[in-house]
Amino acid sequence: MGVKKRALITGITGQDGSYLSEFLLKKNYEVHGVVRPSSTLNTSRIDHLLKYPRKSHENVQLHFCDLSDHSRLLALLIETRPDEIYNLAAQSHVGISFDQPILTGEITGIATAALLDSVFRLKLDSKFYQASTSELFGNTPPPQNEDSILEPRSPYAIAKLYSYFMTRNYREAYGLFAANGILFNHESPRRSERFVTRKITSTAARIAKGSIEKLYLGNLSAIRDWGYAPEYVEGMWKMMQHDRPDDFILATGVGTTVREFCERTFSLIGKNYEDFVVIDENQLRPTEVENLLGNFRKAEKSLGWKPDTDVNSLIEIMLKSDIAALNH
């Protein structure tokens, strides 16, 4: 067995961080995770990877650090000297970013510069992955590819735009191995219920079990390209093993409206979504992104990556998991 590679993951407690940790552990990596200090426990998605809850497995070590604490980030890089850094931490909710634009800018934007600049100043050989997003495209007509115009339409997307270009700039200016994964929406049973897919499947599961409740949603006409998160973290890793740093889209190439997602979820429990969905104006965004649908051909050609799970299978996986959780 060769020397273990060391990965540092910011956002390890999130959906993608948890799947990426599992993936890297299977590849025999030593995983270091940055955890935001919080008064309530926030490691539920990775507890199964730790030897004892909240203590570190021999191949997983957790480090407390808020991404706004740049000197702590610098210290962590000196301490861990990672081969690969996956910058997944973010205030990742588009709707919330309209209420907290400055915090979103600090965590989703400026912290990326702090990490990149630390790698550069410390002269580390660490490869750097930036969690970029289809939100960068805004209302640029679909299908979007790596050359499509970037027109961000939320404080979240604007902060991500800064990180996207910082990543490119450190690559071009200083030769860092710095790659952007421009990922379209990807979901799973570990998706927070704040996002629309899991909000729909978890509510439908409760309704299937007899709960009398309504599902309060905003814009039902928005089209998203929804894939399955475990497949996307493999794509992140493939970008880091590529012979040179580059920017890649990961997507399924299929668009589905929020309305269709509801319709299909409720049909699986033998109900009509129209009997449950209520439009809640509070869920509408000041500026909406209407139609995101990605072209993943570059990743397929250069990385050999392609999605396997279509949106209907995704709905089944998420609904099944939400129903099973209620049976426990």
Taking CA atoms, 246 is separated from 25, 123, 167, 171, 242, in Å, by 24, 20, 10, 9, 8
Q: Per this entry, what is the length of the chain? A: 328
Coil, strand, or helix at residue 311?
Answer: helix
* Closest to 42 measured CA to CA, from 192, 232, 186, 197: 192
104 is a site residue for ligand NAP (CB under 6 A)? no
User: CB of 4: closest distance to ligand F7E in angstroms?
Assistant: 31
Q: Is 10 a catalytic residue?
A: no
Q: How far is Cα 190 from Cα 14, in angstroms, rounded to an integer?
A: 8
User: CB of 13: closest distance to ligand NAP in angstroms?
Assistant: 4
What is the DSSP pairing of strand 247-250 with strand 223-224? unpaired
The DSSP line for 160-207 is HHHHHHHHHHHHHHH---EEEEEEPPEE-TTS-TTSHHHHHHHHHHHH
Q: How far is Cα 10 from Cα 20, in angstroms, rounded to an integer?
A: 11
Q: How far is Cα 242 from Cα 155, in angstroms, rounded to an integer?
A: 31
13 is a site residue for ligand NAP (CB under 6 A)? yes
User: CB of 327: closest distance to ligand F7E in angstroms?
Assistant: 26
107 is a site residue for ligand NAP (CB under 6 A)? yes
Q: Which of 42, 71, 272, 313 binds ligand NAP (CB under 6 A)?
A: 42
Task: Choose the contact partner of 17 out of ligand NAP, ligand F7E, none; CB within 5 to 8 A by kind.
Answer: ligand NAP
DSSP 106: I
35 is a site residue for ligand F7E (CB under 6 A)? no
Site track 83-122 with ligand F7E (rule: CB under 6 A), x = hit? ---------x-xx---------------------------
Query: Between residues 31 and 277, which has the closer beta carbon with respect to ligand F7E?
Result: 277
Q: Which residues bind ligand F7E (CB under 6 A)?
A: 92, 94-95, 133-135, 184-185, 194-196, 199, 217-219, 222, 224, 258, 283, 285, 288
Which residues are known to be catalytic?
133, 135, 156
Q: Which residues bind ligand NAP (CB under 6 A)?
A: 11, 13-17, 36, 38, 42, 66-68, 88-92, 107, 131, 133, 183, 185-186, 192
